[in-house]
Every structure is written in C-alpha cells, then in structure tokens.
A and B are shown apart, each in its own frame.
Chain A
C-alpha cells in the first residue's frame, strides 16, 4: 500500500524526518504516534504530496508519487484543522468537493449518521468547531478510496459522535480499507488501531501491535507503554 524509503525532510535548520523507512501493507488501521514535533504530520503530508521531501522516495499503491497528483484520487484525507471558506453553505462545500473529485459518493448516509441535516443550508462560518469537524468527516468518508488518512480525527467531537466515528472506521476497515491515523487520545488509538507506528526524532522507533508494545515496555497499560517508550 505505502512504501517510504530513506525519507529526509528539513524545515530550515530543523531536521524533522531523517532516513525514515516505512512499509505499510494493505488492510488494517495504523496509528502513527509520537511526541509533539516527532514528524507525524510531516510524514502524512509527504505521503499526500503536500510536503516535498529533501531526499528519499515514496510509493503509494505501488507507484512512485514524485510530483504526480493523480494518485490522490485513491486517498481520502482528513486535515487536522477543519476550516473552510466561510461564505459557502455546507451542501455547497460537499457539492464542490464532489465536483472536484468526479467520483461516486455516498454523503447522504454520512449526513444522516452525524445528524447534519439541519446544518446543510447554513454557512460554514456560523458552525461550531465540532460541527465543522463532522462536515470534515463527511467529506473524508463519502468517497470509496482504498487509503484513508486521518489527522487527529477526534478533535472537538462529542462522546456520541466519537463512538459513531469509531464504528465507521471499523466498518470501513471490514471493507478492506487501509487507515493511517494520528491521535493524542490513547483510548481511541487502543480501541481502533491494529498496529502502532511510533515516531521519535524523525525515525520509526517502533512498529508493531499494541500487545508487542506492551511486552516490549513491560507495561500493562497502553498509555503508560507509550509514555515509557517516549522517555527511553
């Protein structure tokens, strides 16, 4: 699904990723974790082609991405900050993304799931943070793509929506989708993730199941295991 080889990225003097190698096979939920500034978002954005690496190569679905852009039709991405053009209405935004992607979509089901019907005719600038995040989720999940990348998907969600999101992710996983997720909510990660990719100082420090991580750090609690691996 994704192959990253010898990836280097520097922002000014700050070396964010250094010689990062990562291989992700298809199917399953991969949680990209790491302390603040460890390069999680940079890694994700490199895969999306939003960040241009200094060195190294990335392949998505067995094709090198270089400076291409067509491969992104196979990816759904949820950005960290849900901020949209304020003058657009929710339904116009959804129509616009559909228009740009030219792909069959099933937004109605998702709009019903997140209870967004009363907001469809509202302008995006009038929505609360949590509602915006729901719109963000609809935009991400409405297309059928093999790879789904979520950057902090739980931001601003209430508990009920949080549970709906988890179920949605599990459902899509059962359909054979591959997920890359970053989150600081360890409970959420523990609930959904099949495998942990732990970044530290621009490298993959650990890759494996939650159980393997607990064994390695000799911790019984996942959150403590993550804390232990960060401080080692």
Chain B
C-alpha cells in the first residue's frame, strides 16, 4: 500500500514491430480519457492495465494494489485484478442470456461482497426488459448497456472502456454518454476511457492523457489540453 500514490498509476514500455509504446501517467480523476488517433497505442495501454497483455517494462498500480511491476517480477493475472473491461464490440457471451451475462462476473466476485446492487444497475442502465434475451437479438446500444452492467457487477476497482461509443448513431451515443455520466457519478468507480472523439472527452472527462505515436504529449483537464 502506498498512500501517496494516485488511484491509477501507469508506466509502461513496449517495443514491438518497430512501434515503441512509452506511456506514463497518473490520475485521481473520476473519468480519465486516453485520447489520440487510432494506432497510437491507447488500447494497448488499456490491455496492459487489465493484464490482458504484459508490458516489456513497467509498473501499474490501481487503488493501492500493484498489478504489474516488471522490476519486481509482479504480474497479477487478469482474473484476479478486479478490473471491469467494457470492450469496443461488447463481447457478450453468445450462448448465455443477458441475465446470465451480467451475473457472470458477479458470481466470481461473490466473496468480495457486492458493492454495486444488481437491481440498481439494471434500473440505471435500463436493461430490465432484456434479461431473458440472447445477445444476438440486441441492438448495438443495448449490447453496450449490457456490457457496462456486466463489467460493473464484477465489483471492479476501476472500469476500463475501449471506445464504447464507436459505431453508434448520434441518438444512441447521447444515450450511452448519459449513462456513463450516471455510472461515473453514482457508483464511484473510477473510469478510464479510450477515445478519439473530442466531444466525448469534453463532455465526460476531467483528465485527459493525450497519446500520439505511443507517447504522452499532453496531460491535464480537457481545457488545459485542448484550450477552451
């Protein structure tokens, strides 16, 4: 435990196929945006935080828990990290109903106690009428809502979202943005959000990490980074 460390502290280095990823940042913000063009390495950083991939060198600390520290040979496997991951294309389990999907992570984390109540999440995300359905019958927006519920119910210490608004029409994007705001404000789970959309950053984020070509080029509040 390190009292002085930020809620999220990331420092990772990776060189692969001529691409160098060298990213370091800290954040105590309720919603941190990793902003940059596609191919800049934002999703790689997210995968490293989740433990889905290992950095060549680096250290990742979430809420006082050291999850990766290559110098000390620490690498917590993804299933023990308690990190909620909302994938770009939702990645719902096709053979399970919506209800089984959202209870999947909850069951594995039952020992931790449920910080977030099932019925509240179902209500906030408006998925009560979808519970008996299969993912294949859901629209894009509905899939995102279910994926968000599933991640929240796994009692995460932090919620990672990989472009959750990409591929949605404007009406759906507004709807999901509202939901992300409510999740951010009501459930007190810090969110790290990957995007290349300026509007989303301005509306949702309190801290921006701007990444270009695998390097951090600016950090600060949206107005610091982009001007007002």
The yes or no verdict on A and B being binding partners is: no
